[in-house]
Amino acid sequence: MDRLIEMRERGMSISAIAREIECDRKTVRKWLSEGRFRPKKLGPRRSGKLDQHKEYIMRRLGEGVFNTAVLLRELRAQGYLGGRSILKDFVSPFRQQRQVQATVRFETPPGEQVQMDWGECGELEEDGVSRKVYCFSLVLGYSRMLYAEFVTQRDVDTMIGCVLRGFKYFGGLPKTILTDNMSQVTPGRDADEQPRWNQRFLDFTRHYGLTVRLCRFRRPATKGKIESGVGYVKGNFLPGVREVFSLADLNAQLRAWLADTANCRVHGTTHELPIRRLPDEHLRPLTGVPEFDTAKHLRRRVSRDCYVDVETNRYSVPWIHAGRDVTVRIASEGLLEVLWDGTSIARHQVVAGRYQLVTDPRHFEGLPMGESRPVNRFRLPVAAPSVEVRPLSAYEALAEVGDR
């Protein structure tokens, strides 16, 4: 009887207990109501389909993986022949309890809205450097079509690049974009509690004719679709990632998951496949709209030894520009360009890691040897002093006067 009570206290249902001890549900219910357990009526317990996998399941639960879809996928690869319901009953007592808040779901019409958000996803070591990894996600409100991308920075230019790549992935533009009060969108409020917009983000939305809507403070449920999307990436995709060689590799695995799993499964709310509802969004076409410049623009001063510093790495610049203020443009494809007065003066490929020195030997051609630093290019020519020209006889006359 103690065994039945212990299973019941763990949250197991009558059906789950019946399957566990291989007995009829009515019998289990009777034993629990009478407070009596009659094991002599039970035959010898046979091994269940899940028994040989329980040690692995417990280890994955200890790693924080409670998503039974992920666990089922992994168990299938190990030869598990049972169904998902048995697995769910086993996991249920161990699942972390989450507070549930009532909210009113707001459904958007086709093509009306996209929601965006960030999520922290641990760290990734690449080229000997460990960096935080963030997941940026977009969800179309009607179809629930999901786009996600992993990045190592959360500045406004990185975000704009992610949004634009998401629009290309969807194949068009929605009318509005719903976001929370992130600093990349609005750094704060003015005296009248009106949002102060990030000018770079505002230029981007105006360029594509997007209307921006902000969530209410501390109300993530306002954009529940994207909150669910971020949680889906962290709960379904990440637990299945076993080995990652680079950020590019991680994003390649994510793209495959988006295509094969996320957008091709029956959505829990719409009960349809997102990929099949996507054509009904009738998004505005991207064609005909000049592409917004998503490159990062940084202001830097060229050092005396002819380099600019970008994210701890140094890139050479022609020596004639030492000491000048320049603009560093970093394109999404990893091209770093140095501009002075609107003219390109140096180009490099962005390098990974930290404290790397990237040098183009041509940038030092013509530098006078022996100089501890580049010559002063602003030095003005100094005119020779004006000297009166006299005949030698005048100096001889002065010498004779001195002899007297």
Q: What is the mean pLDDT of the chain?
A: 81
Phi, psi (deg, nearest 5) at residue 33: -70, -35
Q: Which two tokens stand for residue 7?
A: 């299973």
Q: What is the CA radius of gyration of the chain?
A: 35
Ordered by where they begin, the domains of the chain are 2-94 (no CATH), 113-281 (3.30.420.10), 295-404 (no CATH)
Q: Is 43 exposed, middle or buried (0-12, 13-18, 19+ CB in 10 A)?
A: exposed
Report pLDDT digits (tens) over 154-165.
889 899 999 999
Determine the average pLDDT of the residues in 59-82. 85
Q: Give counts: helices (H), strands (E), the chain.
A: 12, 14
Q: What confidence score (pLDDT) does residue 303 get?
A: 94
Provide mean pLDDT across the span 15-43: 68
Q: How far is CA 50 from the centre of its chain?
A: 37
What's the pLDDT band for 85 if we cut at 50, 70, 90? confident
pLDDT category of residue 378 using cuts at 50, 70 and 90: very low
- Provide mean pLDDT across the span 220-230: 58
Per-residue tokens: 251: 């994003």
Long-range contacts of 34-41 (CB under 8 A, 24+ apart): 35/1, 36/1, 37/1, 37/3, 37/4
**Mean pLDDT value across residues 79-100:** 75
Residue 360 scores a pLDDT above 90 = yes
User: Could you tell me whether strands 188-189 and 357-358 are parallel, antiparallel, or unpaired per DSSP bridges?
Assistant: unpaired
> 171 — phi, psi (to 5°)?
90, 15
